[in-house]
Structures are given as C-alpha cells and as structure tokens.
C-alpha cells in the first residue's frame, strides 16, 4: 500500500487489495504498518479506543469495525498491520497525545484473537529527505513482556511490527513459543529498506526455521516520506517465495508446511542452541 492521511480512502484501498487476494485463494492476509493512516505528524488524531470485546463501533472505532467486518465477509484470517489505539490492552488511556501502534488479529468469523503493541520505536537518523525520525514522539511503546503467538489453522503465528525486525531476540522468543510463521507489517523507509529489508527478512527466517511474511508500505507518502515496498514471503530455508515491487500490490503464495518440517528436521536450531 501507499497509505496517506485519509482513513476512509486507505480503508477503501485495503478492502480492494484484500478482495484481490481472496480471489487468488488467500485464506490468511497481512496488511502493512500504518495501512489506515500514514502521516508525518503521527496518528493520535485518528486513534481509536480499543474494542477489547471484539465488537467495534462503526462511528467511534471505524478501523476496527472495518477489520472485523472484512474478516467475516471475506472469510479470511486477517492480521491488521498496525492500528492506532488510544488505549492500552488493559483499557487505560495512553499518555502525552501518543497512541499505541497495535497489530490486531481477527479470525474468519471476525473475532478478535490477539493484540500486539509495537515495542521498538523508530528513533533514528537516516540519510534521506526527512533526515531523522522520532516515533516515540507520537507512539507509546508496548510492554516488553509481550510475546504474542496466535494459533491458526496453518500453524502458530508470531507477531511483530516494522523496526522490531532489527531485534532478533524478539523473533527467537516467538519461535521458542512455538511460532512457525512470523509476520512483519512494516513501513521501512526507501533508504533503510533498500539497504537492509530483504537481508533482515531472510535472516529471521533462516535463524528460526520459520516462514516470514513482510508486508511493507511502498511509495511516496509525503514530500519527506518514501517507503521501500518490496513486500516478500520467505520460506524457512531463507528462499524468497514471492516478492512485490514498490507500489501497491496484493502478494500471494502458498506456504508448504512440509518445507518447515523438513528444514527443522535437517537443521534443528531451536533445540541445538546453547546460550
């Protein structure tokens, strides 16, 4: 996706891409980070209360309402990259006009199955037109105790968001908790993505013997913000199963569980580790 500041327009594009994926046979779908709202000023202005009971209101929680409806109507499991929320998982309010960046998972009946709040925030210097990024100015980090693994019909899925990809410890914890598929909804910049995106995706797949699905924003969002795109699906041996270019795309592939079983049997890294 190439999301902008209009939530309604972004939701329309997301729905269209999901429909395209379903027409190709998709049963599990991943949306990128900031799919519903992408702004240089952060997303507190559109942050929603958390529908922790799984019953979102169309007026006050339009993003969550759309997600639960899409999952049910399309009959898919939906991993919603990141949703700006004004409440923590316990229902308490975020502080300092900062929102939580939450990855929400819905089953094919539209039921909320899991929530993961982004832990690692993008506070870095980058040699691009923006120059520097301070995510912590608009996003409140999630609790570092989170290791969110979700049971699905295709195996256990481990949740992460974007900058988390640079911290292998989280992914090892997810794999040790049983994850077989690691999802990385992202908005990697054009500069950092060109240098590191594919290398990091393949590394996380290889070192954990997992499938890795990286859904990345890809295009010009504002004069200072361009993302890399190149969403990709990596198998447990580190091979690229499918890859998109920069720009909007519905990327699909079939994940063969026998490949995961074979790789882990030949190279059982998770049981061989000594540290």
CA–CA distances in Å: residue 128 to residues 92, 173, 186, 255? 37, 33, 18, 36
Which residue in 118, 135, 140, 210 is the catalytic one?
Answer: 118
Question: Do the Cβ atoms of 171 and 182 come closer than 8 Å?
Answer: yes
Two structure tokens written together for 1: 């996706």
40 Cβ partners below 8 Å, 6+ apart? 130, 222, 224, 225
For residues 227 and 190, what is the distance between their CA atoms, to the nearest angstrom?
Answer: 4
Q: Which of 228, 222, 220 is nearest to 244 (CA)?
A: 228
Residue 29 pairs with which residues in a beta bridge?
Answer: 78
Do residues 78 and 110 touch, judged by C-beta distance below 8 A? no
Looking at 69-154, which runs of residues are DSSP E strands? 77-85, 100-106, 112-117, 123-125, 132-134, 149-152
Asked if 113 is an active-site residue, the reply is: no
**118 has catalytic annotation:** yes
Annotated catalytic residue 259? no
The catalytic position among 135, 162, 180, 246 is 162
Just list the catalytic residues: 33, 118, 162
């Amino acid at each position: 996706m190439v999301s902008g500041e209009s939530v309604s327009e972004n939701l329309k594009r997301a729905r269209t891409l999901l429909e395209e994926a379903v027409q190709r046979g998709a049963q599990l779908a991943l949306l990128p980070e900031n799919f519903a709202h992408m702004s240089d000023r952060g997303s507190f202005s559109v942050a929603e209360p958390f529908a922790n009971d799984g019953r979102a209101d169309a007026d006050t929680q339009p993003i969550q309402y759309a997600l639960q409806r899409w999952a049910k109507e399309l009959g898919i499991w939906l991993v919603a990259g990141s949703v700006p929320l004004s409440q923590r998982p316990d229902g308490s309010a975020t502080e300092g006009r900062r929102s939580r960046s939450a990855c929400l998972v819905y089953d094919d009946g539209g039921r909320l199955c899991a929530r993961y709040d982004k832990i690692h925030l993008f506070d870095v210097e980058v040699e691009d037109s923006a120059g520097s990024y301070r995510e912590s100015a608009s996003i409140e980090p999630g609790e570092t105790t989170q290791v969110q693994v979700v049971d699905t019909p295709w195996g256990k899925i481990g949740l992460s968001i974007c900058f988390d990809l640079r911290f292998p410890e989280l992914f090892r914890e997810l794999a040790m908790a049983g994850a077989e598929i690691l999802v990385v909804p992202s908005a990697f910049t054009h500069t950092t993505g060109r240098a590191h995106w594919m290398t990091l995706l393949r590394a996380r797949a290889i070192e954990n013997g997992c499938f890795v699905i990286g859904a990345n924003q890809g295009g010009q969002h504002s004069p200072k913000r361009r993302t890399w795109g190149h969403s990709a699906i990596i198998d447990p041996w580190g091979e690229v199963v499918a890859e998109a270019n920069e720009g909007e795309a519905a990327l699909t592939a079939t994940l063969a569980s026998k490949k995961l079983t074979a790789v882990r049997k030949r190279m059982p890294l998770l049981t061989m580790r000594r540290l």
